[in-house]
Amino acid sequence: MNAPRLIAGLVALSAAGALALVLWLQFARGYTPCSLCVYQRAADFAMFTAVLPGLFWTGWVRRGLWLTATATALTGAALAGWQWHLATRAAHTVESCTAVNLFPAAQGSGPWGHGLASALSGHGSCAVAGARSLAGWPMTHWSIAFFLICAALLGLAQWLAGRSASR
């Protein structure tokens, strides 16, 4: 596997790991996601689904997929930055964010459907959710760092792919 694919594969594994981590925090540790948390999950999933096919395609299709993944990573970083703003600057004025439900559970959808609906619904305070910590660092900081590192790695992968194509 060449270097650009290896780097993009690392980003895909990191995105899957990040999704697994936030779901574990929600269901095993009781962290209630806010609406911005849910949109960050959507950005992470979109980044994952754009990077993964790019591992197997080449040329302009790969470049387009990885540019899309880079844009969604930057969007996730912007959402986490806004959540950080709410957690630090506006915590005393923002009591609750607007509830969001990206995937409402249907009647008879079973435990998997209700679990998916719960994972994609946010109803907590963005200030409280962003101020929660993991390993001594606020969740917003982890999110910003994760998305910016993914965007930088994808940019590096695209640059390396462009260099090897021009040779």
Sequential DSSP letters for 5-17:
HHHHHHHHHHHHH
- Check pLDDT > 80 for residue 92: no
pTM: 0.80
Q: What is the model's pLDDT at position 163?
A: 79
Count of H-run helices and E-run strands, the chain: 6, 4
Q: What is the model's pLDDT at position 87?
A: 73
72, 43 Cβ separation under 8 angstroms: yes
Give CA–CA dist 41/117, Å, rounded: 13
Count of beta carbons in the 10 Å neighbourhood of residue 24: 11
Measured between alpha carbons, how far is residue 117 from residues 52, 98, 111, 129, 139 in Å? 24, 16, 10, 19, 22
Q: What are phi and psi of 101, to 5 degrees?
A: -140, 95
Q: For all residues of the chain together, what is the average pLDDT?
A: 82
63-86 average pLDDT score: 91
58-84 average pLDDT score: 92
Measured between alpha carbons, how far is residue 139 from residues 86, 124, 133, 166 in Å? 13, 14, 5, 41
Enumerate domains of the chain plus CATH numbers. 3-166 (1.20.1550.10)
